[in-house]
Amino acid sequence: MKSYRDARLQKVRILLGRARNPEHAAFHKGYHKSSKKFYGLKAAELTDIFRSIFPKKDKIPKEEALILTQELWASDWFEEQTIGIMLLEQHAKELVPADLPYLKKMIGGCEGWATLDLIATKILGVLAINYGDPVYSKVRTWTKSRHLWTRRAAILIHVLPARKKKLNAEYALGSFEELLHENDFFIRKAIGWTLREMCRYYPEMVFEFLRKHAKEASGLTMREGTRKLPEKLRKILGLKK
């Protein structure tokens, strides 16, 4: 693995170090239950640093971005990893199905929801919208992964398509059905979150899915999944306001 010899990456570390907030860092480390180190920056501060080093007007080539992202992702620091994801997001529309192994390797290195959710919704979701079946068919198999965050990615890939009214229902509902039995909070929450995002454009689909699987879906999944469901459909499911 390359070291941080690139001047831009050196600058990332310098600026993060200058803005370091030990109190905030301790809070975030406990909140995320992470083995990573934390500088303790707020989201706005992190965004400002990223934009100062990688402005949109000076967008770098995709292949260069992939190399820099890989180096940032190998960091022991949470914020450096996050900047790597932000750099990759800047090139999300340029990614192709052949880049899926690269993304899966990143996801396999996730140890918490914060980094995984960014990759799954802001990057993987764009790839799915742009290429459809060649992406969905591969990610669909991730539901069988032993790695929790890879399984969660197989659910959250459908969040952005749901928001954009470009949901692939066959892959989405099939993945939900396969993982409904899991007891893990983050899987149950992910299914509920994605169903909630579907409610705007696909309320009948959400209703039918939850009616069919009412006995299998956890209370968490039901609460999250029906939060934006029309009241008349919530009543049929026996839910209160």
Q: Kindly tell me if the per-residue pLDDT of 4 is higher than 70.
A: no
Q: Which residue has the tokens 């995002």?
A: 197
CA 64, CA 71: separation in Å to the nearest integer?
11
Q: Would you give the distance in Å from CA 45 to the centre of its chain? A: 21
Q: What is the pLDDT of residue 232?
A: 94
Which pLDDT tens digit goes with each residue over 170-183? 999 999 999 999 99
pLDDT at residue 3 in the model: 43
Is the model's pLDDT at 241 over the cut of 70? no
Domains of the chain and CATH, by start:
1-94 (1.25.10.90), 114-241 (1.25.10.90)
239 confidence band (pLDDT: 50, 70, 90): confident
Assess whether pLDDT exceeds 80 at residue 240. no
pLDDT surpasses 90 at 137: yes
Average pLDDT of the residues in 27-45? 93
* pLDDT over 60 at 1, yes or no: no
Using CA atoms, how far apart are residues 192 and 188, in angstroms rounded to an integer? 6
Q: Is 37 helix (H, G, I), strand (E, B) or coil?
A: strand
What pTM was estimated for this model as a whole? Answer: 0.94
Mean of pLDDT over the chain: 95
Please write the tens of the pLDDT for every residue from 217-226: 999 999 999 9
Looking at residue 123, what DSSP letter applies? I
Residues 6+ apart with CB under 8 A from 7: none
> E-assigned strands of the chain?
none
CA distance 45 to 160: 25
What is the rounded distance in angstroms from the CA atom of residue 239 to the CA atom of residue 233? 9
| pLDDT above 80: residue 139 | yes
Q: What is the mean pLDDT of residues 59-75?
A: 95
Residue 238: the pLDDT is 87
Q: Residue 110 and residue 106: Cα distance in Å, rounded?
A: 7
Reply yes or no on whether the pLDDT at 18 is more than 60.
Answer: yes
Q: Looking at residue 33, what is its pLDDT?
A: 87
Residue 2: what pLDDT? Answer: 45
Q: What is the pLDDT of residues 87-130, one digit of tens each?
A: 999 999 999 999 999 999 999 999 999 999 999 999 999 999 99
Q: Rounded CA gap, 143 and 120, in Å?
A: 14
CA atoms within 13 A on the CB side of 193: 17
Radius of gyration of the chain, Cα coordinates, nearest whole angstrom: 19
Given a contact cutoff of 8 angstroms between Cβ atoms, the answer to whether 215 and 177 are in contact is no
Higher pLDDT pick, 192 / 1: 192
pLDDT at 56 over 80: yes
- Give residue 182's pLDDT: 96
d(C-alpha 41, C-alpha 35), whole Å: 17
- Among residues 158, 217, 146, 148, the alpha carbon closest in space to that of 187 is found at 148
Compare 172 and 4 and report the one with higher pLDDT: 172
Q: Please tell me the least confidently modeled range out of 3-12, 151-160, 204-213.
A: 3-12
